[in-house]
């Protein structure tokens, strides 16, 4: 049952590592949107685990936007044969409550945190980063920011916000300017012809790493009605089905862009995570699998400890 | 076998456990309802109205676990009552002896315990797979004067073995009623409204679980009589523990909009009926937006 | 076991239908590359089926190129949890042998045929279409051409051949000019930011329909070595995992482009096929599933006959 | 039970059948080798050396079926011999009574029949899971003078029950040899080369199936003695019936390049050893190209 670790695997993913100006406690993270704000499940128990947070390198919190969002209509989820399609619509408490309530509570509980941010104008990333720095600059457990550049249709100026390398660079640069001592990641969309244009732009603009991938556009049909299951028709496809796509994107980025990659997409087991590390990822994030099993990331972290 | 349920007469949150369980049996309780019995690797104490996320273990596990109210449990065993409606419930119905399941539970806010109903008699109104939480409540906490109602389509639809004399039964069509049992014609909410025991000024508390139209009718009945009413909502769920925001229901809010999204799995599944914005429930909560993620 | 057909489904997919200037015998096809040249399996039998060709609307033959190709090194296939990754490399007998040997044999056997063509210069599509018209213009069973515009890196002029709407239009127009009385389809890549730019270009240039989708870029890692399984690292991802992606692309095309779509991607069952028809596809193609079961498309055709 | 095999003493292609089969048993034949017995819904006549594509039926079926040589069959039953190496073979090893499989077969070109070897004695050289086609040939067609060789790592690795006195056994390590049985030390090809019965001028025909290094050694042995040699190649396969070009092997060709890709599943899996371009086999067949699809 226990995974036989391959000979080339020598890293302890629960040991600290440097990411840009910051030292993070480990390489197995949870992905944004799949483990809420890192405040859920603290009292959950599983055989051998005191909590789902054991061994986690970071919780990437649910993306927050400058103003709170109510999100999309229900249903927001469709399950397919080997994946999930979501259309949550970035429901979130808003950046103010995130700063005032969420981050301090994460600090109190000692949850290693990477804050995921989205906005509609590049400059807002700077404003938000600056405020985080003011509020949480002294926190021991706030390690960085992931700018979520992977939502279609948020830009005021059109639908290519996160697909336009120049805009990606602007957003990253704005956040970087205000984040002297925290890790900065740019989360990229796979729904683009050439992801390396985005990764190159992000790294050049100062991101310490890119996170790849966000969800793939997907659709599920309700056969009874002949209509899409989700009210907005399409949604973001994730889970085991997207693993090979995520691996391909990560490989492309590693091969063509000088810069670090955090792998995300379809990871449910230690084996899946190893595939990203094999391609050169410096850390990985567990998304959909974390929804099924709050201990998914913790189990992977434990299984990947050599010896 | 210690009955753990007795340990939580009132709701004081008990830690959620992630455990494996072994399939024991699928027992047919009515034409549409199957009781699933599993043997637990670890005990899962719970309060009536709480649920568990259930999945197959190993490589055939579903991408999402499925929420099921807990019908009953001991330290070693747990039972659910379900209907086959899709991939997940079909997988449960196809389980073979010894196959392993995963269980995450207990989850969610339960029905108020007997000490929290202000001494008022409780009326429990259930439809179909809404039975488990109410059945569990009545079995654990029921006192004389508490009364259960269960509605089905016809006699075949009724899990007769589970429903003792404390349960009043209604059916749309009065066919297949076993000898010695009774079933009244009509919708269960109408039947409860007309029931002799519920006439008069005695204030009561209503608990209900079942299809949304039924819940709405029950909520209206309770409101008309000024009775407190708690409903358990079976919203679609992804995680069951507050991680994904896939399970929201519109509730009353003092803020500008007059409503907000409550997370059904952690703020519910049991809500006070007057918290629910029934007018928005099941409808797009916001004009279709231009963002996803 | 037998599928309960939904109320909205009224079409007999084994009845002829019009596609551009041609009447095709049915709507359930096999996809290019997954049923060779339509000359294999004719003597196969299954309970209730005299041959795998029963009820098929068309076999889209393996893509042929002007010159024969030896294809990529082995291994060429990797199986993933819910899909397949291939890197066949368009091994084919070449257009000459296709015209001289394959097409006449297909005609003799009465196999409904759509010929898949690829080339490195748009004008070649015209040359090939013209020769098909000469050789097979009188054939009863040759129904059309699918121009395969979905292979990265075939262009002499760079890597955006099938991703550039102008080139897509040129290829389609060149073939159209020589195909007065056969259906013309353009097969599109999903590995692009906006597939509707391609579908729009193809339809405007005279395609009777677009086929969507070809494979999604994917990669599988061999954990023992830590290296990609396929010698070329990435390959084309197909099978059940890509169904929701294909549905999303087809929906996008139907919603935004005036023009017909043939749905392909992840279809293994009648249920899967119905999802494409629900979104407006005029026909569907069965690819990877046909490799597992030569009767896959025939079974779907039978199951979808109403009444 | 009519033995169908007798019906095809020489190879005249029989139609390929797509059928279901029910799992009967997994029987351990050696430390690493398992015999899979299935009960066929339809008969599948075959010739020695042909294979079938095997899969689980229903929703747990693998994306690709897996090729296995047929060990033996009757009208009602079929047996395979396999080793667990990955997902597919692990799934076979985990089958439970009554579970359904799909079988597509017979497929591929078999070994020459007894009438096609020009009256020469046949030498069969097998390693590991290369045994089934040769075992089948010897069982069906073997005459006095035909001789089998089987090589394993040690005594645990040998399927003793399957190998009667017509089989000579060699092992890398001479441990765990059952009482009354013999096993010679060394590689099977070397062992065959040195074997007393194979000395002298008598021309022979060699059939072989097993790991590639073994096949190369066998091919060299045969070439050195001027014997005809046929090898069965276990190349990766997607479809097994010529649909995908996922299974090519480099063979000699008169055309410009001196070689071409043969489709292992339809032109093989049995090839004449001198058809194979051993120098290219297992190496990139062309410089890495810039196209996929
Ligand atoms: C707190 C809670 C307790 C529940 N308790 C029980 C129980 O005790 N017994 C029982 O049988 N069921 C119960 N359910 C419902 C049960 O979870 C669903 O029937 C089950 O998830 C369906 O899974 P499936 O894969 O079979 O169906 P799917 O293929 O997922 O869906 C089949 C159909 O059911 C619809 N559906 C799926 N999930 C839900 C849902 N949660 N609410 C409304 N419609 C849905 C789908 O839209 C679809 O039309 C409960 C749900 C919740 C949220
Ligand atoms: C004509 C033919 C007859 C065969 N007969 C038998 C038989 O009688 N008994 C038996 O045990 N096996 C036989 N094989 C091999 C068998 O098909 C593979 O072992 C099986 O497909 C592996 O499936 P898997 O899912 O367990 O492994 P996978 O997960 O697919 O692969 C596990 C490992 O095996 C390698 N592998 C997979 N398939 C092959 C292959 N075809 N050739 C070489 N390496 C491969 C993979 O690269 C990987 O390293 C035969 C193959 C062919 C082509
Ligand atoms: C329900 C759900 C909500 C998500 N919300 C966010 C989000 O708010 N911000 C974000 O960057 N990614 C979000 N994602 C994407 C995931 O973080 C992740 O990139 C993607 O799901 C692929 O990984 P997975 O296959 O492990 O889930 C969400 C995914 C899911 C399934
Ligand atoms: C082994 C293999 C070979 C393929 N070869 C071709 C090809 O030559 N030309 C082409 O247009 N598509 C080719 N495809 C793509 C398929 O036609 C189809 O578009 C894709 O696989 C998605 O459909 P599916 O999921 O049903 O397989 C190939 C696919 C596979 C799996
Ligand atoms: S189901 Fe995920 S938050 Fe409720
Ligand atoms: S395995 Fe598909 S052609 Fe041989």
Residue B288 pLDDT > 50, yes or no?
Answer: no
List of residues 6+ apart from C79 with CB closer than 8 A:
C85, D62, D63, D64, D87
Chain A residues whose beta carbon lies within 8 Å of the beta carbon of residue B104? 44, 293-294
Closest CA to A39 of A91, A104, A100, A87: A104
3-class DSSP state for residue C23?
strand
Residue D6 pLDDT > 50, yes or no?
Answer: no
pLDDT class of D254 with cuts at 50, 70, 90: confident
Question: What pLDDT, on a 0 to 100 scale, did the predictor assign at position B281?
Answer: 86
Residue C155 lies in a domain: yes
A213-241 average pLDDT score: 96
Residue A9 lies in a domain: no
D93 in C contact zone (CB under 8 Å) = no
Give tens-digit pLDDT for D116-172: 998 999 999 999 999 999 999 999 999 999 999 999 999 999 999 999 999 999 999
Q: What are phi and psi of C160, to 5 degrees?
A: -110, 20
Chain B residues whose beta carbon lies within 8 Å of the beta carbon of residue A87? 292
CA distance C115 to C61: 5
Q: Rounded mean pLDDT of chain A? A: 94
In this structure, are strands C234-238 and C83-86 parallel, antiparallel, or unpaired? antiparallel
Question: What pLDDT, on a 0 to 100 scale, did the predictor assign at position C2?
Answer: 64
In this structure, are strands D205-209 and D228-232 parallel, antiparallel, or unpaired? parallel
Q: Which atom of ligand 4 lies at the shortest distance from residue C187's CA?
A: 11
Residue C2 lies in a domain: no
Domain count, chain C: 1
CA distance B268 to C107: 65
Question: What is the separation, in whole angstroms, between the first and last Cα of chain B?
Answer: 47
Residue C12 lies in a domain: no
Contact B271, B230 (CB under 8 A): yes
Residue C285 lies in a domain: yes
Contact A247, C218 (CB under 8 A): yes
Interchain pair B64, A79: CB under 8 A: yes
Percent of chain A with pLDDT over 70: 96
Domain range for C243: 17-303
Residue D292 pLDDT > 50, yes or no?
Answer: no
Buried b (16+ CB within 10 A) or exposed e, B152-179: bebbebbbbebbeeebbbbbeeeeebee
Instruction: Kindly report the length of chain B.
Output: 293
CA distance A278 to chain C (A): 5
Residue A11 lies in a domain: no
Question: Phi/psi class of residue C254: alpha, beta or left (left: φ > 0; alpha: ψ in -120 to 50)?
Answer: alpha
Residue D81 pLDDT > 70, yes or no?
Answer: yes
Contact B80, B36 (CB under 8 A): yes
Residue C238 pLDDT > 80, yes or no?
Answer: yes
CA distance D73 to D11: 16
Residue C151 pLDDT > 70, yes or no?
Answer: no
Residue A45 pLDDT > 60, yes or no?
Answer: yes
pLDDT class of D9 with cuts at 50, 70, 90: very low
Q: Where are the alpha helices (DSSP H) in C137-242?
A: 165-178, 195-204
Residue A297 pLDDT > 90, yes or no?
Answer: yes
Closest CA to B229 of B127, B111, B148, B108: B111
CA distance D84 to B191: 62
Q: Where are the alpha helices (DSSP H) in D156-272?
A: 188-194, 212-225, 264-267
Question: What pLDDT, on a 0 to 100 scale, did the predictor assign at position D1?
Answer: 30
What is the domain-level CATH number for residue C247?
3.20.20.70
B245 lines ligand 1 (CB under 6 A): no
Task: Write down the ipTM of this complex.
Answer: 0.95
The structure tokens listed for D211 are 């790991």
The structure tokens listed for C177 are 């000019």
Contact D142, D136 (CB under 8 A): no
Residue B291 pLDDT > 50, yes or no?
Answer: no
Catalytic residues of A: 151
Chain D residues whose beta carbon lies within 8 Å of the beta carbon of residue C43? 13, 15-16
Q: How far does residue C256's CA lie from ligand 3's centre (Å)? A: 27
Closest CA to A185 of A244, A278, A114: A114
B211-220 average pLDDT score: 94
B210 lines ligand 1 (CB under 6 A): no
Residue A159 pLDDT > 80, yes or no?
Answer: no
CA distance A279 to B254: 51
Mutate to test the interface with B, among A79, A118, A147 (most CBs of B within 10 A): A79
Q: How far does residue A95's CA lie from ligand 1's centre (Å)? A: 34
Interchain pair A70, B286: CB under 8 A: yes
Contact D166, D148 (CB under 8 A): yes
Give tens-digit pLDDT for B218-237: 999 999 999 999 999 999 89
Question: What pLDDT, on a 0 to 100 scale, did the predictor assign at position B4?
Answer: 35
Give tens-digit pLDDT for D209-249: 999 999 999 999 999 999 999 999 999 899 999 999 999 99
Q: How far is CA B140 from the centre of its chain?
A: 15
Question: What pLDDT, on a 0 to 100 scale, did the predictor assign at position A160?
Answer: 64
Residues 230-259, chain D, touching C (beta carbon < 8 A): 235-236, 238-239, 241-249, 257
Interchain pair D241, C294: CB under 8 A: yes
Residue D200 pLDDT > 90, yes or no?
Answer: no
CA distance C103 to A167: 51
A149-163 average pLDDT score: 59
Closest CA to D71 of D9, D125, D140: D140
Question: What pLDDT, on a 0 to 100 scale, did the predictor assign at position A2?
Answer: 65
Tokens 């049985």 identify what position?
Answer: D181
CA distance A99 to chain C (A): 35
Tell me which of C34, C82, C99, C151 is the catalytic residue: C151
Question: What pLDDT, on a 0 to 100 scale, did the predictor assign at position C160?
Answer: 64
CA distance B13 to C232: 54
Residue A117 lies in a domain: yes
The structure tokens listed for D259 are 């070689």
Interchain pair C76, D246: CB under 8 A: yes
Contact D152, D178 (CB under 8 A): no
């Amino acid at each position: 049952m226990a995974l036989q670790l391959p000979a080339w695997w020598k890293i302890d993913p629960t040991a600290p590592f440097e990411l840009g100006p910051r030292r993070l406690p480990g390489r197995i993270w949870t992905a944004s949107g799949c483990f809420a704000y890192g405040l859920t499940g603290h009292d959950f128990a599983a055989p051998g685990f005191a909590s789902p947070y054991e061994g986690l390198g970071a919780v990437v919190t649910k993306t927050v936007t400058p103003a709170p969002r109510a999100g999309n209509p229900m249903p927001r989820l469709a399950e397919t044969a080997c994946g999930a399609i979501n259309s949550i619509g970035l429901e979130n408490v808003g950046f103010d409550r995130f700063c005032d309530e969420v981050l301090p509570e994460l600090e109190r509980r000692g949850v290693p945190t990477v804050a995921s941010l989205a906005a509609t104008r590049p400059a807002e990333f700077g404003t938000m980063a600056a405020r985080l720095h003011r509020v949480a600059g002294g926190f021991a457990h706030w390690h960085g920011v992931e700018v979520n550049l992977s939502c279609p249709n948020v830009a005021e100026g059109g639908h290519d916000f996160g697909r336009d390398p120049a805009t990606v660079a602007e957003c990253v640069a704005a956040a970087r300017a205000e984040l002297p001592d925290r890790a900065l990641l740019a989360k990229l969309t796979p729904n683009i012809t050439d992801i390396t244009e985005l990764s190159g732009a992000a790294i050049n603009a100062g991101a310490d790493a890119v996170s790849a991938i966000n969800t793939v556009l997907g659709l599920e049909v309700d056969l009874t009605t002949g209509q899409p299951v989700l009210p907005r028709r399409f949604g973001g496809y994730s889970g085991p089905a997207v693993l090979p796509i995520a691996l391909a994107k990560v490989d492309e980025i590693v091969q063509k862009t000088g810069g670090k990659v955090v792998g995300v997409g379809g990871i449910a087991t230690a084996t899946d995570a190893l595939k990203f590390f094999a391609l050169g990822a410096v850390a990985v994030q567990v998304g959909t699998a974390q929804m099924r099993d709050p201990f998914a990331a913790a189990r992977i972290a434990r299984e990947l400890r050599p010896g | 076998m210690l009955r753990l349920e007795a340990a939580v007469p009132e709701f004081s949150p008990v830690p959620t456990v992630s455990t494996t369980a072994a399939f024991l049996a699928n027992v047919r309780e009515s034409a549409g309802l199957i009781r699933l019995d599993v043997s637990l690797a670890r005990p899962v104490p719970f309060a009536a109205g709480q649920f568990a996320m259930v999945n197959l273990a190993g490589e055939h596990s579903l991408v999402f676990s499925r929420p099921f109210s807990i019908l009953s449990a001991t330290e070693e065993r747990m039972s659910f009552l379900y209907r086959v409606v899709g991939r997940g419930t079909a997988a449960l119905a196809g389980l073979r002896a010894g196959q392993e399941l995963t269980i995450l539970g207990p989850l969610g806010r339960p029905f108020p315990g007997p000490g929290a109903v202000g001494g008022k008699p409780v009326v429990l109104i259930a439809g179909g797979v809404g039975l488990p939480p109410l059945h569990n409540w009545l079995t654990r906490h029921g006192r004389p004067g508490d009364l259960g109602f269960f509605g089905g389509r016809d006699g075949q639809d009724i899990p007769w073995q589970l429903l003792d004399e404390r349960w009043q039964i209604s059916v749309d069509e009065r066919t297949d009623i076993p000898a010695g049992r009774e079933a009244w014609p009509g919708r269960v909410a109408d039947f409860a409204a007309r029931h002799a025991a519920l006439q008069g000024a005695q204030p009561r508390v209503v608990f209900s679980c079942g299809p949304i139209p039924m819940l709405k009718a029950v909520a209206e009945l309770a409101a008309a009589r000024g009775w407190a009413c708690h409903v358990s909502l079976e919203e679609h769920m992804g995680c069951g523990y507050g991680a994904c925001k896939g399970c929201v229901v519109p509730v009353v809010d003092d803020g500008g909009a007059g409503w907000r999204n409550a997370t059904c799995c952690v703020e519910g599944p049991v809500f006070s009926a007057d918290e629910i914005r029934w007018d928005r429930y099941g409808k797009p909560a916001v004009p279709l937006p231009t963002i996803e993620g």
